[in-house]
């Protein structure tokens, strides 16, 4: 990168170098067009050889889209407004996940919520444009049509102004940002590998234990001969949390809710070396398990543990409750509007309980994997902060690159 003195100019999209242009998107593209969805009433339109992109394909793809969950046939293509977007084009979500963008690495058709954008590569580098749209994404709502669901149109996108550095500078900017993306991708792969390792270890350790040769059949499955089957209510008590008086953005005492830490307060309702917090209500959150320590407040949408028996090692119990998928024990409310876990259902839950020394060893092994996961996730967060800063500097010309 270059720190040489650059002259700047004020433009409708902000301050950029004087030798950059500001231009409408349609001026640097060969084609910008939405897709269409073949009729689902005609089976012959579907399950063909043409990858068909929906919004969820874009959101799960990241930078490069290489596969789709659905396919259409040649008949479906001809019988709808769908068209073939050639590889190395941009796909932009016009509504739903507004502004989500990806580069398709295979020829695809798309639904009507997605714009296919084919750049003129002699003027505009597709990867540079991808990163610009990624940087610009929070601003799309200013341009969206004010309907019940904010959405863009092909005309709005075509007339959007973009910065246009010289082509070689565009490519260099994209190359630098792509390098960071590759580093993030490697960290993602490491996280996925560690999560698979943790899942396998939990399955092995929480059902077979460490070094056992003899097993027995029980009402909850096959377990080592030395282990017991107990009800959760026999080894620990649970109590409902309480609504906090105030939720602060910063503080010393965390407030635990259904999704973990939801804010901070200056008071606490429990203080212990280990506290298990379980999400009590809500579709998608009910049954989530968190492990806290020290002074905490627990909100009224969660349950927390207390009064442990000496026969239980709390970190072991934490991993076991995750393994048990507590959401399966949730009850539907009378109106069906939400799910809830009751203290009664928890108390009657049957669990496998090794001797305390083995519980501790199992928890230590799984905790080591969790620490590795935490380090990897922090590394990813750091890389994402670096990427965000580089995008702000490079895509506005605040920092120039050497060609």
| Local confidence band at 218 (pLDDT 50, 70, 90 cut-offs) | very high
What distance in Å separates the CA atoms of residue 90 and residue 116, rounded to the nearest whole number? 6
Q: What is the pLDDT of residue 341?
A: 87
Rounded to the nearest 10°, the torsion over CA 186, 175, 400, 27 is -130
pTM score, two decimals? 0.84
What distance in Å separates the CA atoms of residue 313 and residue 270, rounded to the nearest whole number? 18
pLDDT in tens, 22-62: 999 999 999 999 999 999 999 999 999 999 999 999 999 99
Three-class DSSP category at 385: helix
What distance in Å separates the CA atoms of residue 16 and residue 297, rounded to the nearest whole number? 48
**CA dihedral (63, 68, 73, 76) positive or negative:** negative
- Is the pLDDT at 2 greater than 80? The verdict is no
Question: Which domains, and CATH codes, for the chain?
Answer: 21-164 (3.90.220.20), 228-353 (3.90.220.20)
User: How far, CA to CA in Å, does 79 sit from each of 2, 240, 294, 391?
Assistant: 53, 57, 63, 41
- Is the pLDDT at 5 greater than 70? The verdict is no
Rounded to the nearest 10°, the torsion over CA 247, 250, 256, 259 is 100
What distance in Å separates the CA atoms of residue 281 and residue 330, rounded to the nearest whole number? 8
pLDDT in tens, 142-154: 887 766 567 899 9
Give the whole-number percent of the chain exceeding pLDDT 70: 96
Three-class DSSP category at 365: helix
Q: What is the pLDDT of residue 149?
A: 66
């Amino acid at each position: 990168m270059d720190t040489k003195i650059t002259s700047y100019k004020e433009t409708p999209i902000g301050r950029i170098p004087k030798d950059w242009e500001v231009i409408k998107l349609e001026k640097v593209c060969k084609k910008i067009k939405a897709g269409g969805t073949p009729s689902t009433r005609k089976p012959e339109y579907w399950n063909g050889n043409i990858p068909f992109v929906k919004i969820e394909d874009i959101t799960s793809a990241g930078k490069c889209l290489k596969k789709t969950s659905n396919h259409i046939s040649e008949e479906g293509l001809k019988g709808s407004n769908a068209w073939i977007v050639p590889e190395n084009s941009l796909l932009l979500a016009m509504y739903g996940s507004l502004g989500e963008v990806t580069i398709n690495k295979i020829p695809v058709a798309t639904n009507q919520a997605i714009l296919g954008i084919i750049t003129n590569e002699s003027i505009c580098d597709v990867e540079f444009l991808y990163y610009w749209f990624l940087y610009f994404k929070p601003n799309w709502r200013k341009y969206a049509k004010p309907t019940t669901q904010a959405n863009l149109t092909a005309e709005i996108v075509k007339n959007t102004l973009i910065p246009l550095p010289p082509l070689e500078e565009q490519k260099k900017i994209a190359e630098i940002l792509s390098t960071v993306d590759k580093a993030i991708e490697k960290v993602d792969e490491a996280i996925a590998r560690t999560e698979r390792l943790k899942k396998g270890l939990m399955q092995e350790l929480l059902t077979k234990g460490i070094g056992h040769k003899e097993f027995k059949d029980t009402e909850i499955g096959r377990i080592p001969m030395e282990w017991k089957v107990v009800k959760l209510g026999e080894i620990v008590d649970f109590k409902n949390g309480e609504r906090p008086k105030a939720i602060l953005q910063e503080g010393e005492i965390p407030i635990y809710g259904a999704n973990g830490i939801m804010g901070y307060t200056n008071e606490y309702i429990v203080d212990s070396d280990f506290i298990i917090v379980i999400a009590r209500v809500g579709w998608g959150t009910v049954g989530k398990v968190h492990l806290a320590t020290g002074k905490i407040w627990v909100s009224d949408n969660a349950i927390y543990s207390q009064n442990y028996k000496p026969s239980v090692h709390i970190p072991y119990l934490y991993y076991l409750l995750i393994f048990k998928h507590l959401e399966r024990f949730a009850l539907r409310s009378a109106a069906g509007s939400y799910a809830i876990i009751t203290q009664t259902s928890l108390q009657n839950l049957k669990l496998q309980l090794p001797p305390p020394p083995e519980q501790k060893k199992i928890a230590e092994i799984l905790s080591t994997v969790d620490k590795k996961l935490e380090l990897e996730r922090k590394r990813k967060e750091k890389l994402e902060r670096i990427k965000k800063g580089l995008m702000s500097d490079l895509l506005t010309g605040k920092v120039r690159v050497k060609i």
